[in-house]
Structure 1
């Protein structure tokens, strides 16, 4: 994931909607458009970070495009846009968010802000993991007296506690989006072995 001012791809066979979404987004973002699924997949090579993807299109459907994106080397934030209400089949779709038509300007802008917030959160998570790994490594090689006597280690622990509070505090404040955030964290972190970087940092109640 990237962060500030993402490059957005609007995919819809309806030209009026492509133009409308682009109009809403272009004051603040670079926007590309595609009229069908094949063109959308070709456009991914241009560094697309967010995809607004129409579900019902001739040729490749939005679902087929989402699956093709998921199997590709690219990893944009995919937002399915559809006149159909989301149902249980959404569980199987490799998408990050869902908008039901009719879609307003606030809806489109909000979903891009969700992506940006996740990017900022993931950056904080990366920093937290790095601090945890440093603390774990130092603590494995020094006894308690040495640690308490070392000012740099003490400052590192303070930074770790501050970053932990920031990360978990942001997560708790954004409860409606916590599942989407966890999905993004899991995709970004992959196979990180949390046990190896535990460093005595406990999760807040409800997260452990």
Structure 2
């Protein structure tokens, strides 16, 4: 069987300081998207431009860490950003410039789904995007720690309250929307049930 002749759709910037992981992400993502690689945070900032559709960042990188890279990129653009890290997520991610947080080790499927979600976020207005980004970050925290350790954390509770307050508005917008793409449908199914 011949390889799929469909050209990649979008360019993903991947910043990872471990060469093996960087190459693995390129292999995993390269059939579906154009991939631009950076070996550290400084290089990621230099390689970011308006052609980038989404960004995947390692948290701990030399020169400039992933959080600072995300802050710099977000100051320039609303481009969706996911952090991939071995660090257990804390409530700090809830107020940061990230749209999603993935905990290492990750699989090809997990990374691909994350990129699909990031690209779907680009189509939403700011209210809907905030709802899904907060929902995905809360999900990452709860999957790693469960909700109990954070029940009394004001940042965690504010994020939960914000998601709850946005939920009705998001559901209304979704009901009024035309038939969404499969990526958007998957987000809707997962976070608005």
Range into which the TM-score falls when normalised by the shorter chain: 0.5 to 0.7
Instruction: Tell whether the 8 Å contact from 1:121 to 1:167 is kept in structure 2 after alignment.
Output: no
Say if 2:43 is the partner of 1:33.
Answer: no
Question: Equivalent residue of 2:177, what SS?
Answer: helix
1:87: Cα distance to partner?
Answer: 1.0
Q: Show the counterpart of 1:176.
A: 190
- CA deviation profile, 1:27-85 (whole Å, cap 9, x unmatched): 1110010001111011112611111100011211101111111222x232100010012
Q: How many residues align?
A: 135
Give the alignment's TM-score, normalised by structure 2.
Answer: 0.62
Following TM superposition, where does structure 1 have runs of at least 4 consecutive aligned residues deviating by more than 2 angstroms?
115-122, 163-173, 175-178
Contact 2:80 2:121 in 1 (8 A): no
- Cα distance change of structure 1 residues 56 and 29 upon mapping to structure 2, 3 Å threshold: same
Extract unaligned runs of 5+ from structure 1: 126-162, 179-208
Q: 1:51 to 1:116 in 2, by over 3 A?
A: closer
Contact 2:13 2:54 survives alignment (8 Å) = yes
Alpha-carbon distance in 1 for matches of 2:174, 2:55: 31
Instruction: Give RMSD over aligned pairs.
Output: 2.7
What is aligned with 1:75?
78
Distance change in 2, residues 1:166/1:30 (3 Å): same
Structure whose alpha-carbon radius of gyration is higher: 1
SS of the counterpart of 1:49?
A: strand
Unaligned runs of 5+ in 2: 1-7, 129-172
Higher helix share: 1
